[in-house]
Structure 1
Amino acid sequence: MVTSILPLRLDRAFVKRRGKMLAGPVDLDLTGDGVTILMGPNGAGKTTLLRMMHGIERLSGGTVTWAADEETARAAQSFVFQTPVIMRRSVLENLMYPLRLTGVAKAAARKRAEDACAMIGLAGQEGQRATRLSGGEKQKLALARALIRDPQVLFLDEPCANLDGASTREIETLLQAAAGRGTGIIMSTHSIGQAKRLARDMLFMNRGRLIEHSPADVFFTSATTPEARAFLNGDILE
């Protein structure tokens, strides 16, 4: 039986650097069901909060706790950055790499990587050097590599920020499919339209503080804070 790493709990967690509060203190409980979208203006602390939850940002105080031990929790989650990190290897080798790291036999890893290539529309390009892909293709590759081990939780930081409409639609389709398979997705975006299409739950940050956490339908129809309402109206938050 697979040990669930959820729920995720943040208790007065914060990150402070050179006397400036980047994010927090944050109190938050996430069950990981469906897609949770994190929104807020530039500089609100969204990336820092995602990195705090994933464990790649050192806390200045408070705690981030999973329902499983640290080793199990780390192995059951993935992170996709806004600018995709692509290895200087072939498309297929990029996809095989995380599987081989966890001891999957080469033949089995290759088969799963080939299936992933087909899933993201890169069938026939398995041997191509991954660094030569287009921006949209690199982002799809990074997403497929993050999903290939079937993580329980996937973090994404603005994965469609620099993509055209067609690539954005493909990424969203992959995310919806992953959520349908049971992967909890926690993702930041500036696109209100994207949030409405994907979100089950909403998180809203401003000036480093998490000021709203509600179901998506509630957030978009009756946000409780003036900052969130202003953001949804397209106003500039300072």
Structure 2
Amino acid sequence: MVTPILPLQMQGALVRKRGKLLLGPVDLEISATGLTVVMGPNGAGKTTLLRALHGLERLSGGRVTAPIPFADTWALQAFVFQTPIMMRRSVRDNLAYPLLLHGKGKAEAYKAAADWAERVGLTHVFDLPAPQLSGGEKQKLALARALIRSPEIVFLDEPCANLDGRATREIETILQEVQAAGTRIVMSTHDIGQARRLASEIVFLMHGQVIETGDATGFFAAPRTPQAAALLKGDIVE
């Protein structure tokens, strides 16, 4: 049996670059279930927080811990960037690559690629070069490529920021399906409507610090901080 990597615990985490404090100190726990949405104004530190939780960002202080050594958690995590990075290969090869990289046989990897292409609605472009896809198709490919190895937790940085309504709805449906199947999701978004639709938990950031966190229903019904209340009213928060 594989030891789970959740909960993740962030303790006194700090990120500094060129003498500027970008994040922290942050104490935060990502529990084993749910869908966490990270919110806050531009420059609040949302991307830095996700990258630090995932291990992409070197901490200047504090730590992130898991039930197993954090260095061993990589195989059970995935990260989807706001602007997807596409290999100059077909959709088929992009999807199969993570499995091939981790030792799966070609037959198994390409079968899984075909299954995921169907699941996210990319069968019609399966043999096209990935860089030729539309923005929504690229984001669905990036999401499927992250999920194909069945990670325990997936981090997503503004996954629908540049998508139209239809593509956003399709991405949200995929996220709801995989979360219901047991994948832990932590994502950032500026879209309050999207946060209302998807989140079970909200983490609200300002100036690199978590100033409010809790159950999504309670957050939207009665935010505890004036900054969160202002954001939900559509006011400028800075």
Taking structure 2 as the reference length, what is the TM-score of the superposition?
0.98
The separation in 2 between residues aligned to 1:219 and 1:123, in whole angstroms, is 39
Residue-by-residue CA offset, 1:47-105 (whole Å, 9 max, x unaligned): 00000000011101000111112343111000000001111100000000000011111
Which stretches in structure 1 are left out of the alignment for 5+ residues? none
| Unpaired stretches in structure 2, ≥5 consecutive residues | none
Who is 1:202 aligned against? 202
- Do residues 11 (structure 1) and 11 (structure 2) align? yes
Counting aligned pairs with the same residue, the percent is 58
Distance in structure 2 (CA, Å) of the matches to 1:147 and 1:177: 12
Structure 2 equivalent of residue 57 of structure 1: 57
1:71 and 1:92 mapped to 2: Cα distance? 30
Q: Structure 2: how far apart are the matches of 1:18 and 1:104?
A: 42
User: Where does residue 102 of structure 1 map in the other structure?
Assistant: 102
Contact 1:38/1:186 (CA < 8 Å) preserved in 2?
A: yes
- TM-score, normalisation: structure 1: 0.98
Asked whether the 8 Å contact 2:16–2:60 carries over to 1, the reply is: yes
Contact 2:204 2:228 in 1 (8 A): yes
Deviating 4+ runs (over 4 angstroms):
none
Distance in 2 separating the partners of 1:195 and 1:122: 26
Q: Is the deviation greater in 123-132 or in 209-218? A: 123-132
Is the CA contact 1:32–1:185 (under 8 Å) kept in the aligned structure 2?
no
Inter-partner Cα distance in structure 1 for 2:43 and 2:161: 15
Contact persistence 1:82–1:161 (CA under 8 A)? yes
Partner deviation per Cα, 1:131-166 (whole Å, 9 max, x = no partner): 000000000000000000010000000000000000
Instruction: Tell me which amino acid in the other structure corresponds to 1:124.
Output: H
- Paired residues in the alignment total 238
| 1:120-139 Cα distance to aligned partner (Å, 9 max, x none) | 11113221100000000000
